[in-house]
Amino acid sequence: MIKTVNLTKIFRTDEVETTALNEVSFEVSKGEFVAIMGPSGCGKSTLLNILGLLDNPSGGEYFFLDKEVAGFSERQRANLRKQNIGFVFQNFNLIDELTVFENVELPLIYLGKSSAERKKRVEEVLEQMQIVHRKKHFPLQLSGGQQQRVAVARAVIANPSLILADEPTGNLDSSHGEEVMNLLTDLNTNGTTIIMVTHSQRDAGYSRRIIQLFDGQLITENIKA
């Protein structure tokens, strides 16, 4: 599903040049649950952004669904992204002005689905995430765990084949964190590929493979039994 070859990302400011990713090569197959770990500033999030088609690499190749996408324009990336990738963020990134229902509905709107179809699908997913009773609330009226469940609902609404999660439990207490991890595991069991960046050994424990990054370089890949 995903393959990177010598992926490199360099940030430049006027005087300083920082190498965030240095020739990172790895593959993720369909249906995998991969955790990316490493200390702060090692390039985890940069890697996730490139994998999520939010950013372009400075060098190397990136194959997404067997297509070389490293040189795609913003519009092309947006198109590919909205059909195939769902995101879960550490700070949830829900739009405060929209209700739970509307937040979850958003990706379907950008996919151009009809209103009836959207309604049906949103109800379905909210049901699945056990948050349907909160659908008319605004994000700020919810607890952190509830907000993250909404975010997960939003990530899966369009049936993406890949979910990218950036520290999904980072802002949650342990019980809420566990809830979210269980949700992700369930999704994975149903066939969704998941790539998750995390600091937490415990969260990483839910994955089947751990990729360790350090100073922008891939050091180890542990495949769990």
* Chain residues that interact with other proteins, rule: CB under 8 A: 45, 49, 52, 54-55, 74-75, 78-79, 81-83, 87, 89, 93-98, 102, 105-107, 109-112, 154
Comparison of 74 and 186: residue with beta carbon closer to other proteins: 74
Query: SS3 for 203?
Result: helix
Q: Are 45 and 197 in contact, with CB atoms under 8 Å apart?
A: yes
Smallest distance from the beta carbon of 97 to other proteins, in angstroms?
4
* Residue of 156, 205, 197, 148 whose CA lies nearest to 177: 148
**CB neighbour list of residue 214: distance below 8 Å, 6 or more residues apart:** 38, 39, 42
Quick one: 150 or 210, whose CB is closer to other proteins?
A: 150
Q: How far is the CB of 80 from other proteins (least distance, A)?
A: 9
Which C-beta is closer to other proteins: that of 20 or that of 210? 20
Based on CB atoms, which residue is closest to other proteins, 52 or 168?
A: 52
Phi/psi at 97 (5° precision): -80, -10
Taking the complex as a whole, how short is the minimal distance between the CB of residue 49 and other proteins, in angstroms?
5
**Shortest spacing between CB 174 and other proteins, in angstroms:** 25
Computed on alpha carbons and rounded to an integer, the radius of gyration of the chain in Å comes to 17
- Given strand 2-12, what is the order of strands in its sheet? 17-28, 2-12, 59-64, 67-68
